[in-house]
Amino acid sequence: MFTPVPSLIGGALIGTAASVLLILNDRVAGISGIVGGLVEPRRGEVGWRLAFVAGLLLGGLVVAWLVPGSVVPRAGVAPTAFIAVAGLLVGFGTRLSGGCTSGHGVCGLSRFSKRSFVAVITFMATGGVAAFFVQHVLTKVVR
Amino acid sequence: MKKLASAFAAGLVLAIGLGISGMTNPEKIIGFLDVAGRWDPSLAFVMAGAIGAHVGAAQWALRARRPVEPSALGLPASTGIDAPLVLGAALFGLGWGTAGFCPGPAVVDLVAPSTAVVTFVAAMIAGMVVFGARGAATYRPSAFNPTKISNAPPSPPPKSM
């Protein structure tokens, strides 16, 4: 279902949050980079990351209450084994390319970064291929 | 303490934005990526709203810091497209299009645990650990803090003796 207005409003909040982190913390709001920095901790780079992730979790609870249905337990869109492989690819791939939808997508494109532009085109393209394969090919084989 | 509070606030607002925009629902991600299904362009509107709200701050930060940062960190001023960037983004996209999760929404969805999201986040962290465990001889964007503002590419690994 196409939801242009909530998407724009939610997007504006995401952009505002990224601006807060950039202006007050001098840091880019890339979630893969922030979580990755907790996996490979360095001195002075742990506290703010933990605070940010804590904010994400509390924000999840707040929006679950504010907008019923927004954050609820859901069945996976693919078999669990595929979701596990997908997680590995997302964790490794975002660290290798230095960003995800937030870091390259929102923040990188806002800086007019050529690297981020290439990254976004690339992950949109392979994302489309994977979604097509899982939704149209795999479901026919599995079921 | 101030830095912790602002980071916390940023995470809080970002998660609320993800929830309101519907990005915490993997079906909306798949609805956008799978153009052969019932196509849902919502994700493009989320990106437009986010970039619209962030572009001013990003351009300001870039201008305020550009003359200092690249040289201070020993980074080239050019912005190079390299194999790790493209390969990493390609792998990320394959996972994103399979599960409908990217890192932000997946972390937020942990407050409503399901087999899917818990499996995804555990595997994602494992993938990051695997990345971190690679030898120092290989390319490591993390050698330069990738969350710091700069359009310059991550620094290459130090040459081994």
pLDDT in tens, B103-134: 999 999 999 999 999 999 999 999 999 999 98
**A100-131 residues labelled b (16+ CB within 10 A) or e (exposed):** bbbbbbbbbbbbebbbbbbbbebbbebbbbbb
Two tokens, residue A29 = 């709001």
Confidence of residue B22 (pLDDT cuts 50, 70, 90): very high
Determine contact: B73 vs chain A, CB below 8 A.
Answer: no
Of A3, A98, A129, the CB nearest to B146: A98
Distance CA A42, CA A117 (A): 29
Q: Where are the domains of chain A?
A: 4-142
Q: Which of B:32-71 have CB within 8 Å of A? A: 33-37, 40-43, 45-59, 61-62
Quote the longest CA-to-CA distance of chain A.
51
Determine contact: B125 vs chain A, CB below 8 A.
Answer: yes
> Are residues A36 and B131, on separate chains, in Cβ contact within 8 Å?
yes
Confidence of residue B138 (pLDDT cuts 50, 70, 90): low
pLDDT in tens, chain A (143 residues): 899 999 999 999 999 999 999 999 989 999 999 999 999 998 889 999 999 999 999 999 999 999 999 999 999 999 999 999 999 999 999 999 999 999 999 999 999 999 999 999 999 999 999 999 999 998 777 65
Confidence of residue B69 (pLDDT cuts 50, 70, 90): very low
CB A106 within 8 A of CB B54: yes
> Are residues B53 and A118, on separate chains, in Cβ contact within 8 Å?
no
ipTM computed for the complex: 0.97
Burial (Cβ within 10 Å: 0-12, 13-18, ≥19) of residue B135: exposed
